[in-house]
Chains A and B, each alone.
Chain A
Amino acid sequence: MELSRRRAIHLGMLGTVGAMIGGTAACSTSTSGGSGGGTNSIDFWYWQDGLSEKVVDDAVKRFTSVSLKPQQIGGDFRQKLTTTMASGAFVPGITGIKGEDFASFTPQADRFVNLLDHGADKLAGQYLSWKWKKGMTKDGKLIGFPIDIGPTAHFYRRDIFAKAGLPTDPDKVGAQMSTWDDYFAAGVELKKAVPTAHMVSEAWSVYNVAVSAAPARYIDENEHFIGDQDHIHTAWNYAIKAIRLGLDAKVQSGSTDWNAGLANGSLPSQTGAAWGAADIQSGAKNTSGNWGVALSPGGSGNIGGSFLAITKECSKPDVAFEIISWILSPENQARGFTDSALFPSTPATYAMPALTAPDPFFGGQVTIQVLGQAAQKIPVQYESPNDQAVSAPYQNELTNVESNGKDPDAAWADAITEAKKIGQRLGVS
């Protein structure tokens, strides 16, 4: 009875609303809205600093067999892309996809062109293998072409470390603080020598970096929940240890306190992705020359980094592939680094002059020597489409421990319960 009534409602709704939606979702090719940019033009969406604007402009001049129409989309890029793709009209032929959103597009792989059909496999060797695999679906289609990556590293203040009797040379810092335990031990030293300084600005910066270096994330390739296993628990325990030792300043990155802490030396150490260097530079301009970059404690990981994709609506996928592989060639990735601080996904670029110049902000250090090394050591992690949803409770419970003094064991148990619950609804077993 109950079932049949529900079914009746369902069918009734299908009749009225469903027909309209079905019509739009399925018949994307039939709409006359200029999908993919018409017969001889290709709409190309990316975001500010998602690619080097100069390279994109050059691509427009270079590929004249089509009219390439680049457009920088502001605001919530994913929201705009999803809405447009759902409607089936005005879908760009080429689009950027942000790293954190990429996994959620993989279930819709059939709405994108498999780049292997256009000869992408010949280029595979030029790109970091773990990044290349990230752009693939489980059944081996390549839908995302690598733009940049976000290798993790350890940024530190040489002057403050010197004051605490800690090493200041990048290699020595990397060697002495290669594990989280060593890093925390150095933090204790630091606090003894400079009482106002905290090694860790917030527990999340330990946890997040540690998870990014783990062999797996919260969900495995069979969509099983593995967030209660050791690789996550270990990362969690490191974050808790930082709080327990009193090394955690409890200052959120990007906040006023954070910027002030970077500038005045109370936050002399930051662990995070390479692109975070830009935030440190703008937050603490007056400390130029005093910073150093070392390998991250606990091994290298990756946070962020984007892709280019070609949609099924694209009128000339062959040309589109030529365009994206040209824009993201090792030579042009060097320009991406110079113009928009995009960390290249092509190891050949690391030897180019754009990257090997000494960086005055980091005391003349050639940062690529460290970051390039980090980039090659990154583990291949499977990222499920539901990874973000499932990871939210960990983050929430960690802040509960950090700011509200919640018992860490209770918080860990609650995080797992909640993550499992969310996962179940989304079809994670």
Chain B
Amino acid sequence: MAVLRPARPVPTPSMQTGAAGPGRATGFRRVRSHWPQYLAISPFYLLFSVFGLFPALFSLYLAFHRWDGLGEMQFVGLKNFQYLLGDGTFWLALRNTFIIWFLSTVPMLFVALAIAAMLNSTVRFTAFYRIAYFIPNITSLVAMAIFFGAVFSTNFGLVNVVLQAVHLPAVHWLTNPLGMKIVVATVTTWQWTGYNTIIYLAGLQAIPSEVYEAAKVDGAGPIQTFVRITIPLLRPIILFTVVVSTITGMQTFTEPQVLFGNNGTLTANTGGAGHGALTMVLYFYHQAFDNHDFGYGAAIAWAVFLVVMVFAAINWRLVQRRET
């Protein structure tokens, strides 16, 4: 957890807290003198301790038990975790999650940044573009699943029609393991690119125009300005999108569930043919809510937590390092 430091040293914080004199008062007085700050952050932590802490502890407790959700809990010690280490399906799900994350997050963030930069520099129709790019976020999931199921279908899908038109072989997108991951990544990218665009745009709008004026005076071209000025000033926002995409990407659940979850024949929530689109959280959901194995589900969830934490910390470090 210690690695989760702020992206950059908070600028001149000590001088803002005038009450805490240079003499460094005792711990309690220092704490007390900051009461407005504690009050300001307290709602979240209060809500968390009422609505978040109990579920978290409960799930930890569950991870050491066998429980079907209704009957008596049975203590099994570390058995769930032992099983997890040898569970090939979990490791497959871990691998799938990383592949899908990579295939979706990398293009998504780059495209979003490019669109945001273009939107920021155009004057006309900006409201129209913003609304249009945000539409995927409010498109019904069911519509999305049917639509992309049709686009990627083997015999009649648009993608294969195009492939065959340029004399490439058709791909079984919905049953081939890599194809399935590409489909999930495509849908994720489609749905969340506009959202990240809006985030970047909000960040770009906060950059004062004088900064650009100055660059113009110095004779910097548009690309140079973007790389040398825009990107560094946007760093807190980029860090935000990278960390959030990492956390949410590692928890990818909805897209594979909707696309490959219930096709009528296969067992629900197993990620389609050959577990090709089975992600970690989908596997957790399957164990808990389809197999009614809440203890093992909780163990998986904590493993997901661990993976997310380590990976988010690595990404945080990577983005942060470039800065210095």
List residues of chain A with CB under 8 Å of any chain B CB: 6, 9-10, 13, 16-18, 20-21, 25, 76, 78-79, 82-83, 85-86, 104-105, 107-108, 111, 202, 204-205, 208, 250-257, 260-261, 279, 385-386, 388-389, 391-392, 395-396, 399-400, 402-404, 418, 421, 425-426
In the complex, chain B residues 223-245 whose Cβ is within 8 Å of any chain A Cβ? none
Q: Which residues of B contact A425 (CB under 8 A)?
A: 79, 83, 293, 296
Q: Which residues of B contact A396 (CB under 8 A)?
A: 270, 274-275
Contact of B274 among A20, A82, A404 (CB under 8 A): A404
Q: Which residues of B contact A256 (CB under 8 A)?
A: 149-150, 153, 156-157
* Distance in angstroms between the alpha carbons of A90 and B175 in the assembled complex: 42
* Distance in angstroms between the alpha carbons of A396 and B278 in the assembled complex: 11
Closest CB in chain A relative to B69 CB, distance in Å = 4
In the complex, the answer to whether A389 meets B175 with C-beta atoms within 8 Å is: no
Q: Which residues of B contact A79 (CB under 8 A)?
A: 289
In the complex, the answer to whether A107 meets B71 with C-beta atoms within 8 Å is: yes
* Interface status of B220 (Cβ within 8 A of chain A): no
Q: Which residues of B contact A257 (CB under 8 A)?
A: 153-156
* Distance in angstroms between the alpha carbons of A29 and B64 in the assembled complex: 28
In the complex, chain B residues 32-52 whose Cβ is within 8 Å of any chain A Cβ? none
* Distance in angstroms between the alpha carbons of A260 and B153 in the assembled complex: 10
8 closest A-B pairs by CB: A399-B273, A256-B153, A403-B175, A389-B291, A254-B264, A82-B69, A108-B70, A256-B150
* Interface status of B266 (Cβ within 8 A of chain A): yes
In the complex, the answer to whether A260 meets B291 with C-beta atoms within 8 Å is: no
Closest to A78 in B: B289
Closest CB in chain A relative to B70 CB, distance in Å = 4
A-B residue pairs in contact (CB < 8 Å), sample of 30: A9-B64, A10-B75, A13-B57, A17-B57, A82-B289, A86-B70, A104-B68, A105-B70, A107-B68, A108-B70, A251-B155, A252-B174, A253-B263, A254-B265, A255-B149, A257-B155, A260-B153, A260-B156, A261-B155, A388-B290, A388-B291, A389-B293, A392-B267, A396-B270, A396-B274, A399-B175, A402-B175, A425-B79, A425-B83, A426-B293
Closest CB in chain B relative to A320 CB, distance in Å = 20
Q: Which of B69, B77, B83 has the most CB of A within 10 A?
A: B69
Closest CB in chain A relative to B89 CB, distance in Å = 8
Q: A204-B266, A252-B263 are in contact. Are A402 and B273 (CB under 8 A)?
A: yes
Count the A-B residue pairs with Cβ separation under 8 angstroms: how many? 123
Contact with A along B260-300 (1 / 0, CB 8 A): 00011111001001110000000000000111110010000
* Distance in angstroms between the alpha carbons of A395 and B86 in the assembled complex: 20
Closest CB in chain A relative to B101 CB, distance in Å = 22
Name 8 extra pairs, CB < 8 A, besides A21-B73, A256-B153, A426-B293: A13-B61, A85-B70, A204-B266, A255-B153, A389-B291, A400-B273, A402-B175, A403-B273
* Interface status of B254 (Cβ within 8 A of chain A): no
Interface of B is mostly: loop
In the complex, the answer to whether A403 meets B172 with C-beta atoms within 8 Å is: yes
* Distance in angstroms between the alpha carbons of A137 and B68 in the assembled complex: 17
Contact of A17 among B58, B77, B78, B175 (CB under 8 A): B58
* Interface status of B54 (Cβ within 8 A of chain A): yes
In the complex, chain B residues 147-175 whose Cβ is within 8 Å of any chain A Cβ? 149-150, 153-157, 172, 174-175
* Interface status of B186 (Cβ within 8 A of chain A): no
Closest CB in chain B relative to A326 CB, distance in Å = 28
Q: Which residues of A contact B154 (CB under 8 A)?
A: 251, 257
In the complex, the answer to whether A82 meets B70 with C-beta atoms within 8 Å is: yes
Contact of A253 among B149, B176, B264 (CB under 8 A): B264
* Distance in angstroms between the alpha carbons of A17 and B61 in the assembled complex: 8
Closest CB in chain B relative to A353 CB, distance in Å = 31
Closest to B270 in A: A392
Q: Which residues of B contact A107 (CB under 8 A)?
A: 68, 70-71
Closest CB in chain A relative to B51 CB, distance in Å = 14
Closest to A254 in B: B264
In the complex, the answer to whether A86 meets B263 with C-beta atoms within 8 Å is: no
Q: Which residues of A contact B75 (CB under 8 A)?
A: 10
* Interface status of B203 (Cβ within 8 A of chain A): no
Q: Which of B54, B70, B296 has the most CB of A within 10 A?
A: B70
Closest CB in chain B relative to A2 CB, distance in Å = 9
* Distance in angstroms between the alpha carbons of A252 and B155 in the assembled complex: 12
Contact of A111 among B58, B70, B172, B275 (CB under 8 A): B70
Q: Which residues of B contact A251 (CB under 8 A)?
A: 154-155
Q: Which residues of A contact B57 (CB under 8 A)?
A: 13, 16-17
Q: Which residues of A contact B83 (CB under 8 A)?
A: 425
* Distance in angstroms between the alpha carbons of A75 and B99 in the assembled complex: 29
In the complex, the answer to whether A255 meets B274 with C-beta atoms within 8 Å is: no
Closest CB in chain B relative to A283 CB, distance in Å = 11
* Distance in angstroms between the alpha carbons of A256 and B79 in the assembled complex: 43
Closest CB in chain A relative to B242 CB, distance in Å = 33
Q: Which residues of A contact B54 (CB under 8 A)?
A: 17, 20
Closest CB in chain B relative to A148 CB, distance in Å = 17
Closest CB in chain A relative to B92 CB, distance in Å = 10
Contact of A108 among B71, B78, B266, B274 (CB under 8 A): B71
Q: Which residues of B contact A254 (CB under 8 A)?
A: 263-265
In the complex, the answer to whether B289 meets A205 with C-beta atoms within 8 Å is: no
* Distance in angstroms between the alpha carbons of A386 and B292 in the assembled complex: 9
Closest CB in chain B relative to A285 CB, distance in Å = 17
In the complex, the answer to whether B265 meets A388 with C-beta atoms within 8 Å is: no
Q: Which residues of A contact B79 (CB under 8 A)?
A: 425
Closest to A400 in B: B274
Q: A257-B154, A404-B274 are in contact. Are A250 and B172 (CB under 8 A)?
A: yes
In the complex, the answer to whether B177 meets A404 with C-beta atoms within 8 Å is: yes
Closest CB in chain B relative to A234 CB, distance in Å = 20
Closest to A22 in B: B73
Q: Which residues of A contact B150 (CB under 8 A)?
A: 256
* Distance in angstroms between the alpha carbons of A97 and B87 in the assembled complex: 31
* Distance in angstroms between the alpha carbons of A403 and B178 in the assembled complex: 12
* Distance in angstroms between the alpha carbons of A395 and B267 in the assembled complex: 8
Closest to A389 in B: B291
* Distance in angstroms between the alpha carbons of A403 and B276 in the assembled complex: 11
Closest to B180 in A: A403
In the complex, the answer to whether A21 meets B58 with C-beta atoms within 8 Å is: yes
Q: Which of B83, B149, B264, B275 has the most CB of A within 10 A?
A: B264
* Distance in angstroms between the alpha carbons of A254 and B272 in the assembled complex: 13
* Distance in angstroms between the alpha carbons of A20 and B267 in the assembled complex: 34
In the complex, the answer to whether A260 meets B155 with C-beta atoms within 8 Å is: yes
Closest CB in chain B relative to A159 CB, distance in Å = 20
* Distance in angstroms between the alpha carbons of A402 and B266 in the assembled complex: 13
Q: Which residues of A contact B88 (CB under 8 A)?
A: 418
Contact of B264 among A16, A261, A279 (CB under 8 A): A279
Closest CB in chain A relative to B179 CB, distance in Å = 9
